[in-house]
Amino acid sequence: MTAVLAGCGLTGDSGDVTLRLVAADYGDSAANSSAKYWAELVEAYEKDHPGVTVEVTVHSWNDVDREVKKLVDAGKAPDMAQIGAYSDYAAKDLLYKAGDVLSIPAQADFVPQLADAGEVRGVQYGMPFASSTRVLFYNKTLFAKAGLTPPTTWSELAENAAALKADGVKYPYALPLGPEEAQAETMQWLLSGGGGYAETATGYSIDSTENVHTFTWLKNELVGKDLTGPVAPGKLNRADAFTAFAAGQVGMLNGHPSLMKAAAAKGVKFGMVPMPGVDGPTKVSMGVADWMTAFSKNGHAEQIKDFLTFVYSEKNVLAFSREYDLLPVTNSASQTMTAASQDADLKPFLDQLPVSELYPVGRTSWAAVSADVKKRIGQAVRPGGSPAGVLGQLQTTATTAESGSAG
């Protein structure tokens, strides 16, 4: 899908500039394609900026990172790319610093956790463009039938799962550790156990005592007691778990805002609570962000700055977030959403954002680590599996990748 958006009455003067942006598609149909969002935004921008043309090419999430890499490798980097990662390009010194292509107020308006996640060695290159957090979804109908209340601790979650299983629920707790997005479910559980992927600024801590304890508990108390459904966690993908939840077959699972629409469309009554922790609701949720990057090759810093400052205005951030059920990346838009009745369904996710932690995306080693988590982590909870052994293997991968990327 491609949208090339023409400028308004350009005269061909030497001051005329064409900015090229490659963006990802957040829509699920032609009616709400991101091409439509960008077309409207660019039209509004160009109306007040004669002499600047913005050409936007929109690709699906399956293709966008690869397409941008192709352009960069061919020496044809776009001026801007709205993609899933930025650290590789920053490490190769291909990007403008955020401060070079945003006004001071626009850069200062980013939600702090998201801005920090956009940094490489203390300098921000990745500009957050969209964000979401994860909460525990539960099926209200199944819970009412079993006489349950939403869990706040791991032990309550396990007790609820056992009661749901006794009631014949197919997936009492859906644990998607399959290759599609295992790194997300893994991180949510690690955080709820007081650990994480990288608890220090200089290295990974995947095989920490807390993390081994978390996966040992999962293996023994959920998977080992047959409370995670008929598909082995290592073979269950997030998309399939979401589909099963929308079909009324799942008691509980971790989900992000898009699951609300899918479940409601199928008539599933659901509730949402913070992820349970060892002794109470987890203090740190998982956050996810997608990134805007600005490539320096074409030298259009001034024009990029003007355009991105417009993109990140409160009005435009709100319009994008509301269109796609995502969380705003700026403080101003977050405050507006928190107070607006029309955004009440996103409040549980907004509440988690200030206490969220993101993947260590500022490290060029993260791509290799994430890929290995997707490949191996399901083995940690299977019968006969060794949580300590698998997490130790992942730690070795992480240490090797980190030393290689630092070299």
Q: What does the block give as tokens for 167? A: 């009631």
Report pLDDT digits (tens) over 336-393.
999 999 999 999 999 998 889 999 988 889 989 999 999 999 999 999 999 999 999 9
In a domain, 9, yes or no: no
User: What's CA 55's distance to the chain center, in Å?
Assistant: 26
Q: Is 271 helix (H, G, I), strand (E, B) or coil?
A: strand
* pLDDT at residue number 6: 42
320 has a pLDDT exceeding 70: yes
Are 215 and 381 within 8 A, CB to CB? yes
Q: What is the DSSP string of 156-194?
A: HHHHHHHHHHHTT-SEEE----STTTHHHHHHHHHHHTT
Domains: count for the chain: 2
Phi, psi of 141 (to 5 degrees): -65, -45
Residue 4 resides in a domain: no
- Answer yes or no: do 87 and 147 share one domain: no
pLDDT at residue 251 is higher than 50: yes
For residue 234, the SS3 value is helix
DSSP-assigned states of every residue in 295-342: BSTT--HHHHHHHHHHHTSHHHHHHHHHHHT-B-SBHHHHHHHHH-GG
Q: What angle do CA 6, 7, 9 make, to 5 degrees?
A: 125
Shared-domain flag, residues 321 and 232 = no
**Secondary structure of residue 125 in the 3-state scheme:** coil
Q: What are phi and psi of 310, to 5 degrees?
A: -70, -45
Q: Is the pLDDT of residue 11 over 80?
A: no
Q: Do both 324 and 353 map to the same domain? A: yes
As a whole number of Å, the CA-based R_g of the chain is: 22
Q: Which pLDDT does position 61 carry in this prediction?
A: 85
- Statement to judge: residues 197 and 308 lie in one domain: no
- Residue 295 counted as domain residue: yes
For residues 300 and 79, the answer to whether their CB atoms sit within 8 Å is yes
Q: Structural domain of residue 152, as residue ranges?
A: 135-274+365-406
Q: What is the pLDDT of residue 405?
A: 64
Three-state DSSP state, 128: strand
Q: Are residues 80 and 193 in the same domain?
A: no
3-state secondary structure of 261: helix
Q: Are residue 241 and residue 204 in the same domain, yes or no?
A: yes
Percentage of the chain beyond pLDDT 70 is 95
Which of the four pLDDT bands, split at 50, 70 and 90, describes residue 62?
confident
Largest CA distance in the chain: 74
Q: Give the DSSP letter string of 228-292.
A: S-SS-GGG--HHHHHHHHHTT-EEEEEE-THHHHHHHHTT--EEEEPPBBSSSB-SSEEEEEEEE
Residues 86 and 148 grouped into a single domain: no
Six token digits for residue 208: 């920490």
Where does the pLDDT of residue 203 fall: very low under 50, low under 70, confident under 90, or very high at 90 and above? confident
Over 70: is that where the pLDDT of 9 sits? no
Q: Are residues 347 and 372 in the same domain?
A: no
* Whole-number average pLDDT of the chain: 92
Predicted local confidence at residue 15, as pLDDT? 61
Q: Assess whether 125 and 43 both reside in one domain.
A: yes
Could you give the angle at which helices 182-192 and 209-217 cross, rounded to 10 degrees? 110
Percent of the chain with pLDDT over 90: 82
Domain-embedded: residue 60 = yes
On whether residue 11 sits in a domain, the answer given is no
* Window from 161-170, 200-209, 273-282, 289-298 with minimum mean pLDDT: 200-209
pLDDT at 1 over 50: no
Specify if 5 maps to a domain. Answer: no
Determine the Cα–Cα distance for residues 379 and 377; give it in Å rounded to an integer: 5
CA 317, CA 394: separation in Å to the nearest integer? 37
Calpha distance 202→189 (Å, rounded): 22
244 and 143, same domain (yes or no): yes
pLDDT digits (tens, 9 = 90+) for 26-61: 987 788 889 999 999 999 999 999 889 999 999 998
Establish if 7 belongs to a structural domain: no
Q: Is residue 53 in some structural domain?
A: yes
Confidence of residue 4 (pLDDT cuts 50, 70, 90): very low
What are phi and psi for residue 24, nearest 5 degrees? -95, 155
Q: What DSSP element (H or E) covers 215?
A: helix 209-217
